[in-house]
Amino acid sequence: MTKAKAFTTFVYRHTRTLECMRHFTERRDIVRPGVTRFASAFLTLESILEKKDQLRKMMVHSKRDGLREVSSKKGKAATATMMNPEFWKEVKMCLKVFEPLVKVLRLVDGDVKPSMGFLYGELVKAKREIKQVYGNVESRYKDVMAIIDKKMEGRLNSALHLSAYLLNPHYSYADASIFDDGTIIEGFISCVETFYHDDDDKQD
């Protein structure tokens, strides 16, 4: 992410490097803004990967040699990034990790159907898919899971979200073990007690 950001900053900061890039990408930009910073990062990485061959061709083409910006420290770093196979490998990995979370964002931002009953379930699914990207090896995915859990804490794992997850047949019919999950059941009971705080019969 840091290298991709440094590369795009270098290209867009100079008129001549930007014009050169647009020449090789057939007037298409590599920076693609999204609704959130996270979405923008995903879309830009995706765009860079789509234009990989064009960007690498630009780095070794004689048209670029006449640009004085290329010989600067940042220009050399930009060239090294584009020509580094490891960078492209990591871009692919980032996109694989990002994609399940982007699907959740699209669900929340969409107007097709109410997302409340699906949000927690789709986050659970996204976390499962991310673990698979890392081969289900905990030492590889634990840092990413820690970030997601921190973002969810107190926001997306409330009693209301857990209840919506439990009561959504899309999830509960597919996996009956949901009813054995202590955290989810506690959230549901808490939600029931809040809504029907003065009616023991309805709570029961």
Per-residue pLDDT 10s for the chain (204 aa) are: 899 999 999 999 989 889 999 999 999 999 988 777 888 889 999 999 999 999 999 988 887 777 888 889 999 999 999 999 999 999 999 999 999 999 888 888 766 677 888 999 999 999 999 999 999 999 999 999 999 999 888 888 899 999 999 999 999 999 999 999 999 999 999 999 999 988 888 888
Per-residue model confidence as pLDDT tens digits over 100-120 = 999 888 888 766 677 888 999
Identity of the amino acid at 6: A
Write out the chain in H/E/C secondary structure: CHHHHHHHHHHHHCHHHHHHHHHHCCCCCCCCCCCCHHHHHHHHHHHHHHCHHHHHHHHHCHHHHCCHHHHCHHHHHHHHHHCCHHHHHHHHHHHHHHHHHHHHHHHHHCCCCCCHHHHHHHHHHHHHHHHHHCCCCHHHHHHHHHHHHHHHCCCCCCHHHHHHHHHCHHHHCCCHHHHHCHHHHHHHHHHHHHHCCCCHHHHC
Average pLDDT of the chain to the nearest whole number: 90
Cα–Cα dist 158/180, whole Å: 18
